Structure 1
Amino acid sequence: MSETAVEVRSVSKHFGQGDHTIRALDDVSVTIGKGEFFTLLGPSGCGKTTLLRLIAGFESPTSGAIHLEGQDITDLPPNKRPVNTVFQSYALFPHLTVAQNVGFGLEMLGRPKAEVKATAERMLALVKLEALAGRKVSQLSGGQQQRVALARALAPQPKVLLLDEPLSALDLKLRKEMQIELKRLQHETGITFIFVTHDQEEALTMSDRIAVMSTGHIRQIGAPREIYTRPTSRFVADFIGETNFLTVEARGGAADLGAGTRIETAKTGRVTLAVRPEHVRLTPAGAAGALPATVTNAVYFGTDMHVYLTLQDGTEVVARQQTQADPSAEPAPGQTVGVTFAPGAVQLLED
């Protein structure tokens, strides 16, 4: 990133006092680049929405500072910040038309009527709703209302657009469509998007980078592939996708899992290894170098299936494999098989 859009410097946010103090954010720092699609991802209560509200100006930090393009905006009120927010509830005006909703913010800024009209038309074209400019929002579907809310937020050309779980009210099919649309809009406008979600698929699909949060801290920041393939902690590995956790003894500078998997480490004693289900390989029972395992269940998902296994030490492992053309060739409960792991796929976790 050559230029910085938002910089959060050692920000903490506490609610309450004394023994009742809640540390929503605890010394959080993050730098977000201009034109980046940056996602704050984590479970409910992790602090992601609080951080978004601090950037928007709806909350003030207990300590720390927030800079936007080099300017300290920590104490600026929301209406003085060049940012805009799209919420879970779209907050559209039912008595106004689609075009009037989009132009409302510009009118409040005192922009000329001709500019308001032209900008509204341009924004509606951007979200592919120009044909519905004269309709009332009550006549629109949920997905169309979402697009109107986006067009309204983009109309003033904010330097940063904040999105607080804006897809959560949509059904699954529409949510997937809007994921693609949001990324397209961000790419075409070049505006920095900061997106809040608890949905890992949304984060992996749209983001340039992801910050995974829990209990008021950022646990890891990275590109989607990095976060998925190289989680640095058990929390991140467990929250992003499905993961198998294996506990082994490390000695002599390495953790030896068997099945041809040996990972160098300075640690000694019990360590935790992680491997994704799609990197677990099934072999015939007794195959050289394979760990013996028993199939406990096999669940069909259409294009693939999840095979649930128990290793000899009692560790439970899930393997994901493509569905076979011949169902009789697929593993069956009670069957004994061998387990190996794709080269380089097993990772030693730091905590």
Structure 2
Amino acid sequence: MSSVVAKAGLEIRNVGKLFTQPGKGDFRALDDVSLFIKPNEFFTLLGPSGCGKTTLLRMIAGFEYPTEGEIRLNGDEISDLPPYQRPINTVFQNYALFPHLTVDQNIAFGLEMLRRPKGEIDKTVDEMLRLVKMTEMRGRKTSQISGGQQQRVALARALAPHPKVLLLDEPLSALDLKLRKEMQIELKRLQHETGITFVFVTHDQEEALTMSDRIAVMSAGKVLQVGSPRDIYDHPANRFVANFIGETNFLTGTVLSAAPGRADIKLGTGAVIAAGVPDGMTPAGEVTVVVRPEHAVITDPETAAVKGTVDTVVYFGTDTHYHLKLDSGAPFTVRQQNRRGREVHLAAGQPVGIDIPGGVAQVLRD
């Protein structure tokens, strides 16, 4: 990576982290992780518990130090700097507000610790209150406001010093579903309005897909794929990513022919489908193909190449999930949007056909 590009954002270079556990040996939490996070980007670290995403966030913040590798911000190495010397702030999962202080006092606290002039502090607090839509709550103690309002205050306090990077460690996990969805929109708005780089940690795929400019999917201390939400959802790099991001059907087939970007695959059912192929891959022999449930269509079993029977039907309001069993015995799910007047009524045991349009299936690398 060129030095010109390196000076433009946050760079993680070949970072590893080894924890020594007394009596248990060493545990490698991160293994040769390299990432480049662009300025003014909403970047998400996504993965299951224990994958290393929070460890990486803590190293960016300065609460942990790399065993190997380095971290650079705008071209300057910050790996060994303590947290207070980094232009980086963190919003924690539990918000860490002072319950005995008012909303505006909480927001002002960090600025006071930085010994900013009182006039500047007052002006910044007013600006932050307007930004998070909490002006009318400024005089209330944070113990007297709701969880969603507390989250807004934590965001305002972290944004007040105008950090170059804001780290968010699963800040929505304690909120109920409706409020969590509202705050997803608010976080994206705040990031857009402030122009600050957000690095967001979550295990929730919906949060990642909804808010992120780019996502890094992590597992067992490694980064498996980096890309836009659409790229990762539609073109997963491997089985783990495909399985972790949304529901997925896995089919096994044999390559009949291949060209750059596409291949004809003969499934175990005997049906032949056209599938997309990852860049640089020339598939051969037996491969695994993924099909998202919403990309397949239930059709007439008399004319369909892929056939099965209905196992269960689950109604979700906006859509219905049809859990099927293919003639080969493999499970398969189709998700169809519910449209008034165009409902599909199927019963358990009913034979169905499955249409897999050309290009919606994707061959996996592994």
Same fold (TM over 0.5): yes
**Is 1:261 matched with 2:273?**
yes
Identify the residue that residue 87 of structure 1 maps to in structure 2.
92
Identify the residue that residue 345 of structure 1 maps to in structure 2.
360
Query: What is the CA distance between 1:266 and its match in structure 2?
Result: 3.7
2:18 to 8, 11, 14: 14
Cα separation, 2, equivalents of 1:156 and 1:316: 53
Cα separation, 1, equivalents of 2:339 and 2:72: 54
Cα separation, 2, equivalents of 1:331 and 1:324: 15
Question: Contact conserved, 2:274 with 2:361, CA < 8 A, in 1?
Answer: no
Query: What is the CA distance between 1:259 and its match in structure 2?
Result: 4.7
Structure 2, unaligned stretches of length 5 or more?
Answer: 259-263
Identify the residue that residue 130 of structure 1 maps to in structure 2.
135
Identify the residue that residue 273 of structure 1 maps to in structure 2.
289
Letter in 1 for 2:144: Q
Cα separation, 2, equivalents of 1:324 and 1:78: 53
Question: Contact conserved, 1:84 with 1:161, CA < 8 A, in 2?
Answer: yes
Paired residues, number: 350
Query: What is the CA distance between 1:21 and its match in structure 2?
Result: 1.1
Cα separation, 2, equivalents of 1:82 and 1:233: 36
Query: What is the CA distance between 1:343 and its match in structure 2?
Result: 2.3
Question: Contact conserved, 1:296 with 1:310, CA < 8 A, in 2?
Answer: yes
Query: Which stretch shifts more, 294-303 or 47-56?
Result: 294-303
Note closer, same or farther for the CA distance 1:328–1:81 as it changes in structure 2 (3 Å cut): closer
Query: What is the CA distance between 1:252 and its match in structure 2?
Result: 5.3
How does 1:147-226 map onto structure 2 within 5 Å?
147-226=152-231
Identify the residue that residue 45 of structure 1 maps to in structure 2.
50
Identify the residue that residue 331 of structure 1 maps to in structure 2.
346
How does 1:56-67 map onto structure 2 within 5 Å?
56-67=61-72
SS in 2 for 1:163: strand
TM-score of the superposed pair, with normalisation by structure 2: 0.92
Identify the residue that residue 4 of structure 1 maps to in structure 2.
8
Cα separation, 1, equivalents of 2:92 and 2:63: 13
Note closer, same or farther for the CA distance 1:113–1:244 as it changes in structure 2 (3 Å cut): same
SS in 1 for 2:241: helix
Cα separation, 2, equivalents of 1:303 and 1:176: 16
Q: Identity over aligned residues, as a percent?
A: 62
Structure 1, unaligned stretches of length 5 or more?
Answer: none
Note closer, same or farther for the CA distance 1:295–1:101 as it changes in structure 2 (3 Å cut): same
Query: Which stretch shifts more, 1-10 or 206-215?
Result: 1-10
How does 1:107-126 map onto structure 2 within 5 Å?
107-126=112-131
Question: Contact conserved, 1:251 with 1:267, CA < 8 A, in 2?
Answer: no
Cα separation, 2, equivalents of 1:41 and 1:324: 33
Letter in 1 for 2:295: H
Question: Contact conserved, 1:39 with 1:210, CA < 8 A, in 2?
Answer: yes
Query: What is the CA distance between 1:346 and its match in structure 2?
Result: 0.2
Cα separation, 2, equivalents of 1:155 and 1:295: 55
Question: Contact conserved, 2:274 with 2:359, CA < 8 A, in 1?
Answer: no
Letter in 1 for 2:301: A
SS in 2 for 1:179: helix
SS in 2 for 1:182: helix
Question: Contact conserved, 1:5 with 1:160, CA < 8 A, in 2?
Answer: no
Query: What is the CA distance between 1:322 and its match in structure 2?
Result: 2.2
SS in 2 for 1:334: coil
Cα separation, 1, equivalents of 2:150 and 2:287: 50
Query: What is the CA distance between 1:341 and its match in structure 2?
Result: 0.7
Query: What is the CA distance between 1:277 and its match in structure 2?
Result: 0.2
How does 1:237-316 map onto structure 2 within 5 Å?
237-251=242-256, 253=258, 254-257=264-267, 259-263=271-275, 266-287=282-303, 289-316=304-331
Query: What is the CA distance between 1:290 and its match in structure 2?
Result: 2.3
CA displacement, residues 175-199 of structure 1 (integer Å, 9 cap, x when unaligned):
0000000000000000000000000
Query: What is the CA distance between 1:326 and its match in structure 2?
Result: 6.0
Query: What is the CA distance between 1:328 and its match in structure 2?
Result: 8.0
CA displacement, residues 209-254 of structure 1 (integer Å, 9 cap, x when unaligned):
0000000000000001111111111100000000000011235555
Cα separation, 2, equivalents of 1:346 and 1:46: 28
Note closer, same or farther for the CA distance 1:259–1:283 as it changes in structure 2 (3 Å cut): farther
CA displacement, residues 325-350 of structure 1 (integer Å, 9 cap, x when unaligned):
46984121111111111221000000
Q: In angstroms, what is the RMSD of aligned CA positions?
A: 1.8
Note closer, same or farther for the CA distance 1:319–1:161 as it changes in structure 2 (3 Å cut): same
Cα separation, 1, equivalents of 2:144 and 2:332: 50
TM-score of the superposed pair, with normalisation by structure 1: 0.96
Cα separation, 1, equivalents of 2:71 and 2:350: 58
Cα separation, 2, equivalents of 1:184 and 1:323: 30
